[in-house]
Structure 1
């Protein structure tokens, strides 16, 4: 199983130049989130030598603009694709997916995307005092589960525990945005140590994790910390 980071941006200056969001590609066929805008997504896909005709489905972790912004033009270029959304995603988002040529797939429960790659089902979180639905990808491997997250609004610890309980397997790794860029350092240490105590061996934080938090995770996880750059891949 191959996971490639297509695009990741979350620093303040990146927001002002339109470089904000997240996107991954799994085995060249499943696009996980679509960055904040299509021109940048398309540029990064070209740089990674990705033929968009090979992409068979799109998973949107949650309906915030920086994860869904590139979807609309992408669907116009690849109509007919299944787009997996949390069931309580905004109705306007679902309607726009359809109007752009996509097929909405609600993920009320666990769904299999391909052998060894599953969707978690919806888990609720909070953002700016309002509820937000999110789901994540689970990859089954010989070492355990690896979870691929968008922003971890429900908290990465809650997500890891949900995966462990739902699949009755230990969580080996965590990849993606951990939404700790505004957290105090002591809170980040608590989070990192809690994940380690859960038995997690590998972390590859990106996007909204924040560079300070990434340093903490590197200290806590040592060789288990993976610094993943754009156009780099992890094999599981």
Structure 2
């Protein structure tokens, strides 16, 4: 394994004080998840995180419930009016339900999202996408046989400043929206957007649900910078069996990821397996965690060493949440991403 660049990962309870406007080091604050330490933030199934780097504040996903998201943002001291950019990883409700709250406070903020035909974020298609038959009378033809060159489709958030992406794009200096496409049964053809940020310590990679497979996303990120320093977010192995979990660990090993901080739909058994595999390089990233890349290898974020971040009651609640919605599908298919 290559030597680690200096880095500090510190864990704080969000809500102990307002989130700094411009932290000196790149920082990830978990604003929405179903597990974590007791504190003022409310747990619920879903994901949202605030990424702060080089004076830029990027909100990654917005959780499952607008009311819970609004509460957590307020409790964490985050001013949504100061958000520079929003990134929505994919179309599932547990990642985007709080967007209306963001737009109320910051209506002109740029929202980066995956481009999908007829998608919920809005899209457009050339009118040539459908076959035409000029033998029909005008009243039987779309647009009387004279369609506009481009058809525009609406979004669930009219007026929002969406920037759809069909390919990996540098959305700001040193910041990329990475697009991957799921080939897993249940989410096949779903496009997912991940966030890669170049830092002095290496690449910071934030993932939402990893439907296309975490190794697929890491491989795309490594094309930008093979020095992957930290991966944080949902890995989508919530119902995976031991063989599938072992498979993803084996596939990730060649990338020599410095630190890993799983959350959301990663799953309890996968938390435990990752903690065993990565040891001191496993970072607790539950609700309220604040991970700071800094000057020292000491990691308060690792202090949850023995329990993978769960109390007994949290484990029961997590299992119950894991069985809700569409997160049950397709996890066994990840054995060989």
Query: Normalised by the size of structure 2, how large is the TM-score?
Result: 0.63
Q: Is the contact made by 2:43 and 2:287 (CA closer than 8 Å) also made in structure 1? A: no
Is the partner of 1:3 in helix, strand or coil? strand
Q: Which has the higher mean CA deviation after the structures are superposed, 132-141 or 169-178?
A: 169-178
Q: Does 1:72 align with 2:129?
A: no
| Shift in Å, 1:127 | 5.3
1:171 equivalent in alignment to 2:238: no
- Structure 1 residue runs of 4+, over 6 Å off? none
Aligned: 1:219 with 2:300 = no
The answer to whether the aligner puts 1:96 opposite 2:124 as a matched pair is no
Change in Cα spacing, 1:235 to 1:117, as seen in structure 2 (3 Å) is farther
How far apart, CA to CA, are the structure 1 residues paired with 2:216 and 2:168? 16
Q: Is the 8 Å Cα contact of residues 205 and 214 (structure 1) preserved in structure 2?
A: yes
Contact in 1 for aligned 2:205/2:228 (Cα 8 Å): yes
| Range that drifts further, 89-98 or 25-34 | 89-98
The counterpart of 1:45, out of the listed 54, 73, 96, is: 73
Q: Is the 8 A contact 1:196 1:221 kept in 2?
A: no
CA RMSD, 1 decimal = 2.1
1:58 aligns with 2:117: no
Give the structure with the higher percent helix. 1
Structure 1's unaligned 5+ residue stretches are 11-16
The reply to whether residue 139 of structure 1 matches residue 164 of structure 2 is no
Give the Cα–Cα distance (whole angstroms) in 1 for the partners of residues 156 and 249 of structure 2: 36
Name the residue aligned to 2:286: 229
Pairing partner for 1:22 from 47, 57, 60: 47
- How many residues matched? 227
Larger radius of gyration: 2
1:117 CA drift (Å):
2.4
Deviation at 1:131, TM superposition (A): 2.1
Q: What CA distance in whole angstroms lies between the structure 1 residues aligned with 2:65 and 2:118? A: 19
Residue by residue, what CA displacement relative to the aligned partner does 1:159-200 show, whole Å, maximum 9, x if unpaired? 1111112x1433222110000011102211221232123211
By relative contact order (CA 8 Å, sep 6+), the higher-ranking structure is 2
SS at match of 1:39: helix
Q: Deviations over 1:106-144 (max 9, x none)?
A: 123333344432212x21013515321001000112332
Paired residues of 2:61 and 2:208 also in contact (CA < 8 A): yes
Higher share in strand:
1
Q: Distance in 2 between matches of 1:89 and 1:195?
A: 32
Instruction: Point out where structure 2 has 5 or more consecutive residues left out of the alignment.
Output: 1-25, 36-41, 123-153, 294-337
Per the TM alignment, residue 19 of structure 1 is displaced from its structure 2 partner at its CA by 2.0
Deviation at 1:51, TM superposition (A): 1.0
Q: Could you state the TM-score of these two structures normalised by the residue count of structure 1? A: 0.88
> Which residue number corresponds to residue 9 of structure 1?
34
Structure 2 distance, partners of 1:73, 1:89, is 25
Give me the whole-angstrom Cα distance separating, in 2, the residues matched to 1:40 and 1:2.
22
1:200 paired residue number: 257
More divergent stretch after superposition (107-116 vs 195-204): 107-116
CA distance in 1, matches of 2:83, 2:288: 16
Deviations 1:58-91 (A, max 9, x none): 1000011111111123313321111111112653
CA distance in 2, matches of 1:18, 1:142: 33
